[in-house]
Amino acid sequence: MMREIPGIPYRFDDPELLKLALTHRSADKVNNERLEFLGDSILSAAVTSRLYELKPDNNEGELSRLRTRVVRGDTLASLAAGLKLGDYIMLGEGEMKSGGFNRDSILADALEAVFGAIYLDGGYTSCAAAILHVCEPVIASLPSANELKDPKTRLQEWAQARGHALPVYTLESEEGPPHRKQFRVLCTLNDLDISVSGSGSSRQKAEQSSADATLKAVSDKSGK
């Protein structure tokens, strides 16, 4: 029976735990959902501790944004794909036919479940070591905390720091059927006479798009 996954530096004493971690709910009513819940918490704790050590000058909000970049679903799915975790996941027939072994949510959940299984099999120290081994390439390539702020936050902070009026967002249009709506929002910096539009599949995304475009506009205007 399988006791380890290539690329994860841990060998299970109890291979049944690894088997459970790789069992999707479509394959069996006894599946990896509880291990996923456990692994998610251990992953967050291990990454939080690592970032706390590595980033002594970052505040709580900045550390939180950095952690989110590491533990979010698409990052975990990419890491799981790199480990070829989909080759080992046990799926029901329907999920298998629909390519579930490549689905981001299934890959990310399985990786968290494996971390939960390692914790139960070998304890926190072994689990944290495995997590950091897998996640270290992502942690090492993290951008600055400021770069992780969303465009609206960055634009607001830019305006406040320079004594400008806060940006105003105006919905310009809302088009398309309910399941494929497109929104267009105008972002205006009144005292700078700058107005830039952005679009997205929700009003929030359109506002972020317009804020991002406005940041580029003020950068071009200032020559920076």
Contact indicator for 117, 20 with CB cutoff of 8 Å: yes
Task: Compute the distance between CA of residue 64 and CA of residue 145 in angstroms, rounded to an integer.
Answer: 9
Q: What are the tens digits of pLDDT across the range 11-62?
A: 999 999 999 999 999 999 999 999 999 999 999 999 999 999 999 999 998 8
Residue-wise pLDDT for 104-152, tens only, equals: 999 999 999 999 999 999 999 999 999 999 999 999 999 887 777 889 9
Query: Where in the chain are the domains?
Result: 15-143, 149-222
pLDDT in tens, 70-117: 999 999 999 999 999 999 999 999 998 888 889 999 999 999 999 999
Domain 15-143, architecture per CATH: Orthogonal Bundle (1.10)
What digits encode the pLDDT tens for the residues 120-133?
999 999 999 999 99
Q: Is residue 74 among the annotated active site residues? A: no
CATH code given to domain 149-222: 3.30.160.20
Contacts of 72 (CB under 8 A, 6+ apart): none
Residues of 176-189 as b/e, b for ≥16 C-beta within 10 angstroms? eeeeeeebbbbbbb
The length of the chain, given as a count of residues = 224
Domain 15-143 identical in fold to domain 149-222: no
| Amino acid at position 77, single letter | A
Establish whether 40 is a catalytic residue: yes
Residue of 36, 40, 95, 207 marked catalytic: 40
Catalytic residue, candidates 36, 109, 112, 207: 112
